[in-house]
Amino acid sequence: MISKIIDDELYQGYLAKVYQDTQGYQRYSLAEHTLYKDAGICITYGELLYPSAKKIIHEMSKDQNEVFLDLGSGLGKCALQVFMQTELRRVLGIEASKELHTQALTAFNQVKSDFPSFWEEGRSLTLICDNFLHADWQDATIVYSCSTCFTQELLIAIGNKINQQPQVKQVFSFRPLPSLKLPLKKVFAVECSWDSALCFFYAKR
């Protein structure tokens, strides 16, 4: 498997090149802030860093049939790393911001052009531009969310939505999900673009 051969320095160097012209921070108008707030969208941007995405990959189920979903996928970095460093057949991200979504698509197209072999055997890496509270989660079994800045209302809504999706067996969230019915398995530290955070890992027994 290519992911075993290419080492972390090469990965990080390559990904830095792919993302060199992207911009995560966005200036929103007051009207957009109000619109997003009312829709349950938290627009603060930040990213999980490469070594910590590896920690999540280490903890999660590697069964090829798992479907990984990043709730609020931003520029798509975490979803892309999971796609490149596991053998999961389906990885998806849902992001409300059209600007972030479009930049993520550009990055993914670049990787597909450079390394089409990752897409062999029907593997897919899908991005949906929508509010993840209303979008179709497409049979996701592993849910990840870099939820540090999410409101309590949004965290509760995420937990409620997961409770309605019995196929979800693992959840990684940077804030506790108060309404979630899955048991908490462990809590571990992760590094993000702004600082360190805790990752709450819930899993079916």
Ligand X SMILES: C[S@@+](CC[C@H](N)C(=O)[O-])C[C@H]1O[C@@H](n2cnc3c(N)ncnc32)[C@H](O)[C@@H]1O
Q: Are 47 and 16 in contact (CB under 8 A)?
A: no
Closest distance of CB 114 from ligand X, Å: 21
Q: Are 107 and 84 in contact (CB under 8 A)?
A: no
In angstroms, rounded to a whole number, what is the distance separating the alpha carbons of residues 136 and 51? 29
Closest distance of CB 205 from ligand X, Å: 26
* 122 vs 151, beta carbon nearer ligand X: 151
In angstroms, rounded to a whole number, what is the distance separating the alpha carbons of residues 179 and 117? 40
Closest distance of CB 167 from ligand X, Å: 20
* 199 vs 203, beta carbon nearer ligand X: 199
* 117 vs 164, beta carbon nearer ligand X: 164
* 94 vs 140, beta carbon nearer ligand X: 94
Closest distance of CB 120 from ligand X, Å: 25
Beta strands, E only, the chain:
67-71, 90-95, 124-129, 142-145, 170-173, 184-191, 196-203
Summarize as ranges the residues that interact with ligand X (CB under 6 A): 40-43, 45-48, 70, 72-74, 77-78, 94-97, 100, 131-133, 146
